Structure 1
Amino acid sequence: MSSVTDTEVGSWGERVERRVGRTREFVAETEPEALAVVGLSMGALLAAFAGFLLASPWAAVPFAAFLASTGYGWIRYQALTARAITFAMTTVTLVTLGLIVVFIFLEAIPAFRYESATVFGVSVPGLGMFTQTRWSPTSEPVRYSLLPMIHGTVMVTTIATLVAAPLGVAAALFIAEIAPPTVRELVKPGIEILAGIPSIVYGFIGFTIINPWASDEFALNGGSTYLFVGLVVGLMALPTVVSVAEDALTSVPDSMKDGSVALGATDWQSMTSITLPAAFSGVSAAVLLGVGRAIGETMAATVMLAGIQRIPEPITNVFYGYETLTSLIAANYGHANNVFESALFAAGVVLFVTVLCLSIASQYIEARMRRRLGGVE
């Protein structure tokens, strides 16, 4: 017969005590008063949120009731109140995001209807925005083509990715695998500081220093080029790539690296053959997040580009810079109205869908990395 040690009895007793404690807490929190307090708090929050959406001057009344009931519940039934508040905040966040998405798509409908095109006898809303190249909201014929701005966004994003991806991965590899602890402790906060610099600062430097230099050296009118805008945006996306890629590289188990070194591989061979392949999913997610940052960049592109809606000739010419989707919205939202304003929302829809797809892809790749490192395929 197997004997039971004192340690096993003690651990079993601790588990029983924890379960009894949780049961008592559950019973206390399911008292009618606790449920009434939490219900009042959540109802008041819902009413305040509805009043805010309706722009009602009475929205402050249910919000004050929410604060009072939540404060009382936090004192008497803290655990239940905390769970209810976190659930409510999560719900409000998701509802707000959903309302923003619905609002953007609804506002873009007039522009999609205006730029409908017929394919095989079927009218396709918005097809004209992606099959023509003319943007002329104030002159006849009025057209709202997003193709020139999509081209500019692709050019800037491609150049920024070519800058941020290799430099970011190399910097992350240095910080995670090569740099001494002292250097790592100094470099890591510096990268985070770079990520916090406002984009308008980068754009102002590009406008006052890079654009005049490019104008003089390359004989360009105004100096606005996709090449240098992409370089600036790539430097802005660099901290994001470095930070996420470094986390992915440091998450690789040390046992895999030690085993490679024990078999006779050098440190560089271990990094290229073990660390990078094992963290490839996370590094790819870092690059995708950097690409998303480049696509959504507004101020640097707005102040450095010429603001002309056209496609350069030839189409691969990077020494001219006209417009991106974000700079189009930033430069025209103040005076746009009617279908013109709706066309700006249509540009926002294109940006939203693109960045959403990149975010989903990065989350999928990162989850795949976790499964691989955890031994689950």
Structure 2
Amino acid sequence: MRPFKFTNTKNSSAAINLLDRNPNASFLAGGTNLLDLMKEDVERPDELIDITRLDLTSISSITRGKNAGGVLIGGLGKNTNAANHQLIRKDFPLLTKAILAGASAQIRNMATNGGNLMQRTRCSYFYDTAMPCNKRSPGSGCSAMEGFNRMHAVFGWSNECVAVYPSDMAVALSAMNANINVMQKEGQIRSIAINDFHRLPGNHPEKDNTLNHGELITSIELPKNNFAAHSAYVKVRDRNSYAFALVSVATGLVLDGNKIVSAHIAMGGVAHKPWRASIAEALLRGKAATLANFRLAAEAEMSHAKPLFHNKFKVGLGANTITAALQLASKGTDAVA
């Protein structure tokens, strides 16, 4: 690990100003991803700004305004606390299910909600500094394109990068149409829709998201929804713990009897960002909640996939996982077990 300066602060504005004046500085919260990247010499900040003392950990109901009935989650709250909070388990169990499917209990106890959104790809070529990687070193090439790409993208990739985004939590947030609130240098708050927060690689795969340097995630806003009792998170992985998704699906169904009023479906493990399955959602609207309709919608979504040499299996796996998640959601659940 390279030498760096460590700076403490207890004030959000001070933290933002410190980061803004140093283009090579990074915020340090839980550190569960950043420190690993520094040890591997992938990330090389020369200053870490400790934000763990900022008062951004609360979880509270939104009681006024257009988002009344929703919940505000502090950006520096721990993943474990968010997953197990009474408000989340009762009204937003999809988020609980997704968080508990991620990493391990030890990491969830350290990782923050905002940091979870900021985590970087686990592509092996990104971590191997001896190999070309446009995300790590723009212009050097993408080793995964012609290399071993079993874990990589089937949607939204470019010739510059085929890596996937690893978060489970963000997949659930995508299905729930969450908003990410960030504080800017001037103290103003900017709200970013979750589906606009992360980027597809395009010509700039080194840019994971739409944050500007010097902006701080203060909270995550969950709008009120009507599918708490009909939601599911299904994660398919190589082992049952401490593994990233080959394919994951977060879904919530708004039902009128057996008729689907609306379907909310997001996928993980298939793209550079949480992938909203808009084709499947549109096909299910107004249809009966049947296995046949779930299968047709899932296959229609995956028919637009563009698999690579080693990950063609993700097309069928994706269809099966969407179908399974929709089936579980349609059966209904009142709480998280």
Report which of the two structures shows the higher radius of gyration computed on alpha carbons: 1
Say whether the fold is shared (TM-score over 0.5): no
* Structure in which a larger fraction of residues adopt helix: 1
* Structure in which a larger fraction of residues adopt strand: 2
Normalised by the length of structure 1, the TM-score is 0.20
Normalised by the length of structure 2, the TM-score is 0.22
